[in-house]
Amino acid sequence: MPRLRESLNTEDQQMAKKAKKRRYSKGAAKKVSRAMKKRKAGTLKSGRSGRKVKSRKQAIAIGLSEARKQGAKVPKKGSKKRSKKRAKKS
């Protein structure tokens, strides 16, 4: 029986490691899923203009920003990378 206890402890340790490695918290995931459901129902609106959100990506962004405001674990926003125009090849 001692081996059974050892295996349970290692499983608990593995679960704890996975929880630490999580990039997004469970609360953030809930906010995103709520935003997606609202978008599908047609009731999700953007902040400034108040227009309906049609884009899936925009719905995810709204959910993540709400989670950030609430204090959930969410990675920082990435800075917008501007694509530089390539010089014409001759």
- pLDDT value for 82: 54
* Position 47 in a domain: yes
pTM of the model: 0.61
> From CA 59, how far away is CA 33, in angstroms rounded?
9
- pLDDT value for 8: 62
- pLDDT value for 35: 95
DSSP summary character for residue 62: H
* Position 2 in a domain: no
A 10 A CB-CB count for 16 gives 10
* Position 78 in a domain: no
* Position 79 in a domain: no
Task: Walk along the chain (90 residues) and give the pLDDT tens digit of each residue.
Answer: 555 555 567 777 777 776 677 788 899 999 999 999 999 999 999 888 999 999 999 999 999 999 998 898 888 887 776 555 555 555
Number of folded domains that form the chain: 1
Domain residue limits at 56: 20-70
